[in-house]
Structures are given as C-alpha cells and as structure tokens.
Homo-oligomer: A and B are copies of this chain.
Amino acid sequence: MKFGILINEGPFTHQAADTAYQFAKAAVAAGHEIFRVFFYHDGVNVASDLAVPPQDDRNVTDNWVKLAEANNIDMVVCIAAAQRRGLLDANEAQRQGKRADNIAPVFRISGLGQLVEAGIECDRLVTFGD
C-alpha cells in the first residue's frame, strides 16, 4: 500500500515525530511504500541539521534522515511554515538575504500542494501531531 505521512510537531517537544518514525519504519518493514513525508506546522523543525541532542537520547532528525536515505523517501518541508519558523535551505537563505541555512540535505522545501498531492496519490494519509 502507498502511504503519505503528515508530521505537525517538532522534535522532542512532542512525541509526534517519534511515533511517525516508528510507524514509517514498520510500514517499510511490512513492504509498504512511503510515498512522501510532509512536515507542517512545527514539524518543519525536524528538518534542522543544527540540533545537538544529549548523547544518551535519540536524535530525531538523524533517525528520519537514515530512514529516508535507506528507503528513498521523499521528505518535504512546507515552505510557508518553514519561513515563519526560521528553517531555510541554501536557495531560500540566499533569496531571503539570510546569512545561513539549516535544513539537512535529504529534506526539500516545497509548497502545500505537495501535501494535497500526497492525499490524492496515497491510499492512506496518516497524521501525527499534538
């Protein structure tokens, strides 16, 4: 089956990104396809590659990066939500005249249309949030 996953909360503060990760891992293990993971609201914060979590805790972003790379998952960060919250890729940083960017390479920034498309193309869209 083809899944879309929507993540609405940032790492650590809420369990949403962790539960979604465990769900995605189990879906892949069961032979399902993850068509796309869409990061919305504070979920865009998962894409930051500047986080340094305590050594004895999980690294939410790294977990996602590894799962996405191993399974070629399309990881999309909502541009409007990301701009509000200070998440930028190199292109965006340049376009906005900002001095730095902070999105890990596996994530790509795009519009909400990507979420709607996931809703259209997937058999199920599963939401994780607060």
Contacts and interface: CB of A to CB of B under 8 A. Distances in A.
A45 B86 contact: yes
B100 A45 contact: no
Contact of A10 (B80, B85, B88): B85
Contacts of A54: 80, 83-84
B100 A50 contact: yes
Interface in A51-87: 51-54, 57, 61, 80, 83-87
A91 interface: no
Interface residues of A, number: 30
Interface of A: 10-13, 41-42, 45, 48-54, 57, 61, 80, 83-88, 93, 96, 98-102
Contact of A12 (B61, B84, B100, B102): B84
